[in-house]
C-alpha cells in the first residue's frame, strides 16, 4: 500500500469489480487507452486476477487510487508489458476525479515505489490526443521520445522515458 497526503494506493481485489467495470467503460478510457472487453463484474474479476498476477510476479502492478477512507476513483501503477523493454507507468481516473491533482499525486507515489524497487528507468505511453496525460508525464519528469505503433496495435502511441 502506498499513501500520500490525500490518497491511498492499494492492491485491487474482487470487491473492486464494479469500479473496474465503470472505469474501463468510461468514454475517455475507451478513447485514449482502449477497449479491454470488460463489461461485467465477472469480466472485471478476470482483469483484477491478471493485475494481481503482476503483484506476485513483478512486485508491482496497477493500484486502486482511493481518497483516504473513500472508494476508488482511479488506477495508477507500474505495468510490465511484453511489448516494451521497461516497465511503464499507467493511470486512469473516473471523470469526477480528474483535474483534482490525484493523477500527479498518485504517479509521484508510484515513482517513489519504483525507485525503492531499483527501477530507475521507466517508460510511459499514451495517446497523442491525450494532452492532459502528456502534460502530467512531462511535469513528473518524463521526456517525450517518439510516436510509434506498438506491436499488435494499430494506432499511434506517444512514447515517453524517465531516465
What CATH number has the domain bearing residue 108? Answer: 3.40.630.30
Within-domain flag for 136: no
Question: What pLDDT shows up at residue 100?
Answer: 95
Question: What pLDDT shows up at residue 41?
Answer: 97
Question: What pLDDT shows up at residue 151?
Answer: 87
Within-domain flag for 54: yes
Question: What pLDDT shows up at residue 154?
Answer: 87
Question: What pLDDT shows up at residue 138?
Answer: 96
Question: What pLDDT shows up at residue 163?
Answer: 79
Within-domain flag for 91: yes
Question: What pLDDT shows up at residue 55?
Answer: 94
Within-domain flag for 135: no
Structural domain boundaries enclosing 12: 2-118
Question: What pLDDT shows up at residue 50?
Answer: 95
The string of DSSP letters for the chain reads -EE-SSEEEEE--GGGHHHHHHHHTSHHHHHHT------SHHHHHHHHHHHHHHHHHHS--EEEEEETTS---EEEEEE--TTSSS-EEEEEE-GGGTTSSHHHHHHHHHHHHHHHTT---EEEEE-TT-HHHHHHHHHTT-EEEEEE--TT--S-EEEEEE-
Model pTM?
A: 0.92
Question: What pLDDT shows up at residue 16?
Answer: 98
Within-domain flag for 161: no
Question: What pLDDT shows up at residue 10?
Answer: 96
Within-domain flag for 86: yes
- Per-residue pLDDT in tens (0 to 9) along the chain, 163 residues: 899 999 999 999 999 999 999 999 999 999 999 889 999 999 999 999 999 999 999 999 999 999 988 999 999 999 999 889 999 999 999 999 999 999 999 999 999 999 999 999 999 999 999 999 999 999 999 999 999 998 888 889 999 999 7
Number of domains in the chain: 1
Amino acid at each position: 500500500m502506498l499513501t500520500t497526503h490525500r490518497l491511498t494506493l492499494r492492491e485491487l481485489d474482487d470487491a473492486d469489480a464494479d469500479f473496474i467495470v465503470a472505469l474501463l467503460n468510461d468514454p475517455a478510457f475507451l478513447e485514449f487507452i482502449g477497449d479491454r472487453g470488460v463489461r461485467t463484474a465477472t469480466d472485471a474479476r478476470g482483469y483484477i486476477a491478471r493485475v494481481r498476477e503482476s503483484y506476485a510476479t513483478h512486485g508491482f502492478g496497477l493500484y486502486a487510487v482511493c481518497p483516504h477512507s473513500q472508494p476508488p476513483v482511479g488506477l495508477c501503477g507500474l505495468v510490465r508489458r511484453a511489448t516494451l523493454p521497461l516497465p511503464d507507468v499507467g493511470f486512469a481516473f473516473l471523470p469526477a476525479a480528474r483535474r483534482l491533482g490525484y493523477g500527479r499525486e498518485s504517479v509521484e507515489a508510484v515513482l517513489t515505489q519504483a525507485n525503492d524497487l531499483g527501477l530507475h528507468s521507466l517508460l510511459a505511453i499514451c495517446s497523442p490526443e491525450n494532452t492532459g496525460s502528456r502534460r502530467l508525464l512531462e511535469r513528473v519528469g518524463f521526456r517525450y521520445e517518439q510516436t510509434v505503433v506498438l506491436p499488435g496495435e494499430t494506432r499511434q502511441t506517444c512514447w515517453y522515458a524517465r531516465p
